[in-house]
Chains A and B, each alone.
Chain A
Amino acid sequence: DTGVSQDPRHKITKRGQNVTFRCDPISEHNRLYWYRQTLGQGPEFLTYFQNEAQLEKSRLLSDRFSAERPKGSFSTLEIQRTEQGDSAMYLCASSLGGRSPYEQYFGPGTRLTVT
């Protein structure tokens, strides 16, 4: 499968624990995006990378959230001291950038449940 992959697909954690999600983009795509989606809402932008550079972060991304893309390939999203409000689907997407930055391909998402 040459699409965007995410791991894990599901994560249940207790409030206060740290969690880390991984995203592997389509191999030739230099842009990688993280979005969060809660029930009944559309995805909300969190952050994006061009290669290893983090170009934009949403105000939604509090100090407890950090994202990295160390070698411009896969990315990780870490949430520290999870809260129940962090329960959501975390979606990763990738694109070629350049003339087609908006043509994004989404991974299956990581569904986080904080108990």
Chain B
Amino acid sequence: RKEVEQDPGPFNVPEGATVAFNCTYSNSASQSFFWYRQDCRKEPKLLMSVYSSGNEDGRFTAQLNRASQYISLLIRDSKLSDSATYLCVVGALGNQGGKLIFGQGTELSVKP
């Protein structure tokens, strides 16, 4: 079983749609969670951290369910510029931390 699993998509949605991505992680002791965005042939960039109480940044909402080991990202009113791959990421434990464990990514294509 992979440590972080995501539906690879692709998700094809019209502009203005709401889209949700889900992710599960295998290590119940994990403490740090993130969503990264990666444009085609570019490096990953941190989109947002995910906090236990859930958090929002403009049109983006991230939620964490520790009991189900489940992380979600909701994008409201999607824009053409949101087209990218969204990577679910868990911070590995131990050895002073720092290692990131990535899911395979979910591809989003927003169409006019």
A positions within 8 Å CB-CB of B: 31, 33, 35, 40-45, 48, 50, 55-56, 91, 95, 97, 101-109
- Which of A35, A42, A55, A104 has the most chain B CB atoms closer than 10 A to its own CB? A42
Q: Is the CB of A108 within 8 A of B46?
A: no
CA distance A55 to B89 in the complex (A): 20
Q: Is the CB of B43 within 8 A of A103?
A: no
Q: Is the CB of A106 within 8 A of B104?
A: no
Q: Can you list 11 A-B contacts with CB-CB less than 8 angstroms, sorted by A residue number?
A: A41-B105, A42-B87, A43-B87, A43-B102, A48-B99, A55-B98, A102-B32, A102-B97, A102-B98, A104-B98, A105-B46
A84 to chain B, nearest CB (A): 20
Q: Which one, B43, B46, B89, B103, contacts A109 given CB within 8 A?
A: B43
A42-B103, A44-B102 known; A102 and B45 CB under 8 Å?
no
Q: Which one, A33, A44, A109, contacts B98 given CB within 8 A?
A: A33
A33-B98, A48-B98, A102-B91 known; A43 and B104 CB under 8 Å?
no
A-B contact count (CB 8 A): 63
Q: Is the CB of B32 within 8 A of A45?
A: no
What total of chain B residues lie within 8 Å of the partner, measured CB to CB?
A: 24
CA distance A103 to B45 in the complex (A): 10
Q: Is the CB of B43 within 8 A of A91?
A: yes
